[in-house]
Structures are given as structure tokens and as C-alpha cells.
A and B are shown apart, each in its own frame.
Chain A
Amino acid sequence: MHELAVTESLLQVVLRHANEGGAGKVVSLSVRIGGLSDLVNEWVQRYFDHLSRGTIAEGAVIRIERIPTTFRCDECGHVFPADPRTREAIRCPLCSSAEMTLATGRECFVQQIEVV
């Protein structure tokens, strides 16, 4: 359940930016998480609700945007989405190469916060 540790860090980042921006209250936050992450949205929100009690972020709604996992073909440079959890071999849809590099999927960052 690393959602708890991740959410603690999330709250710290949000509060720091909210305070620096002179906010009185955080209304919402948007977070971008890559497809390879195992974080469960529901638990992040629940832990956040719990941890943020008594802070200016209490009651804030977390919007989690999932960034799809994509690969870049080492041969032709084409970037394509693919599910690394599939048992099937993954091939570049343009040139059929099996040589590829993970392009997106490991992201984990706070995009912006809405404050009043």
C-alpha cells in the first residue's frame, strides 16, 4: 500500500505550492500518472481526504489523468501505444521491429492546483 506514502508526498507538494501562491484553500489538483504505475485512484483520494484534514487542502478533489504507456521504435522512430502486460510479443506497427524503448508510462507528477 504505497499509496499512503505517495499521498503524503503529494500533500506536501500541494501545500507548499498553495502557500507560496498565497492560497486560502485548495479546491482541486490534477495529477498525471503513467500507465506503468500501480497506484489506485480511489485509494489516493481516500488517503488524501484523511491526511489533509485540518489543512487548506481538506476536501480538495484529485483529478488523476493516466498517461498511456507508449514505446518508440528503435528502427523507425514511430511512437505507438502498447500494453506491456500482454503475453503477446510487441512489434512496431509500422516496421515490425522488436527493438523499442519505453517512451511514456513512468510519469508521476502534479500538473496544477486550483485554489481560492
Chain B
Amino acid sequence: MAEVRLIEVREELLAENRQEAGDIRAELRRHGVFMLNLMSSPGSGKTSLILRAVRALKDSFRIAVIEGDIDAMVDAEKMVREGIPAVQIRTGGACHLDAPMVAAGLKELDLAALDCIIIENVGNLVCPAEFDTGAARRAVILSVPEGDDKPLKYPLIFSVCDLLVINKTDYLEGSDFDVEALRERVHRLNPGIRILSLSCRTGEGVSEWTRWLAGEIEAFRNK
């Protein structure tokens, strides 16, 4: 019987994904294309938030969308109607997008003709948090009807994002959603995170979101 021996690995579990994400990041850097990975639960407003950004910024920046949501066919059509390129990733019902899926989506886009790509990830607060897609920035939306306790239940996603958008603030009145408690819960996980409150329905606060995105696109290009 051969002797048991130890091999030191000390490698990330998702090393393969991380490698591919690094390749994507390098390619986008070469082309000066800013990519945002947008995540949230289903129905919290990813598509609406993207449409708001596209309408406000499409004269200033060339934007494309990678759709990962399971019912994204509808979402992709909405984007095309706005006149912007949209690629739909067939996730086969997968719960998240990973770097190889995004790499396949990028092949469908002309990177030389773009300034910004927004990934609409699969609606889910758990799995997308674990997978680096090669995006320069990550954002998560939490809508008011979901409740202020989500960072307690899904801490990882709030700890890895650069931006938190609190959407559907038009539902705040009469609800027990505590914005201050939410801020504290998120800040202790991630002190550097930017937090914006808005309503895609009424438009209140939306300009903060489009200003943030425009600033990130500019900053990336001038880096």
C-alpha cells in the first residue's frame, strides 16, 4: 500500500473562473470599455434601472447590455427597442453568470464600438455574489418591498459590491422599511460601498444613478 502524502494546494476554489475573469478584465481594459455587473433579486428593478441609464446616457456613451436573466428574452427585446446592442446568454436555467458565460457574450459585441457594458445578472442574491465576471464594478439593487433585513440574510453580496441602489422608494411611505438600519448593516460589511435611494417608477433620485454610472465610465476611460 502506497503511503499517503500531502500536496499543498493553497489555491482558490474558483481559480478557473478567476483566471477567465482576469482575461476579460484585461481585454476590456485594452478597449477602454467599462463593465458593470448588476445583481439583485428577481423583480427588484434591474431592467428598469438599465433602461433609465440607457435613456439618459445613450447620447454621451455607447452602451451595450449582456442579459443573463432567465426571462431575459423580454428584457433583451426592450433593450433592442431602445436602439442599443443586447446579447442574451443562454444560461440553461443556471442561477448565476460566470466568467466563461460572459466571455461568450462579449464575443457577440464589437468592443471597439463601445464605452460601457452592463451585465444584467440572473435574479438571485446568493450565487452571483460568488462569481467574478470580469466586470470593473459590481452593483446590487435592493427594492423596498424586499425588506431591510436582506443584508442579514445574504451578507456576501453586500460585501462585494461597489454600489447599492435602494429602489422603489415610492413604497417607503407606510412601510416599516428602515433605511438607516439598512445603511448600518451594509456599512459594517462594506464601509466603502456607495448607497443611492431612488424610484425607477417616479424617477426620483434616478439622476444620481445615471451620474454615478457616467462618472465611472469616464474614470475608467481616463485611467
Contacts and interface: CB of A to CB of B under 8 A. Distances in A.
B2 A85 contact: no
A85 B14 contact: no
B9 A17 contact: yes
Contacts of A57: none
B7 interface: yes
Interface stretch (B27-35, B79-87, B152-160, B200-208): B152-160
B114 interface: no
B12 interface: yes
A96 B211 CA distance: 36
A17 B13 contact: no
Q: State the majority secondary structure of interface residues on A.
A: mixed
Contact of A37 (B95, B130, B191): B130
Nearest to A24: B2
Contacts of A113: 6-7, 9
Contacts of B126: 2, 38
A18 B11 CA distance: 13
A74 interface: yes
Nearest to B98: A5
B189 A84 contact: yes
Nearest to B156: A36
B8 A85 contact: no
A51 interface: no
A87 B147 CA distance: 13
Contacts of A115: 4-7
Given A37-B156, A89-B184, A13 B17 contact: no
17 contacts: A1-B127, A5-B94, A6-B14, A6-B130, A12-B16, A84-B155, A84-B185, A84-B188, A87-B152, A102-B190, A108-B14, A109-B9, A112-B10, A114-B4, A114-B6, A115-B6, A115-B7
Interface of A: 1-2, 5-6, 9-10, 12-14, 17-18, 21, 23-24, 27, 29, 31, 33, 36-38, 69, 71, 74, 84-87, 89-90, 98-102, 105-106, 108-116
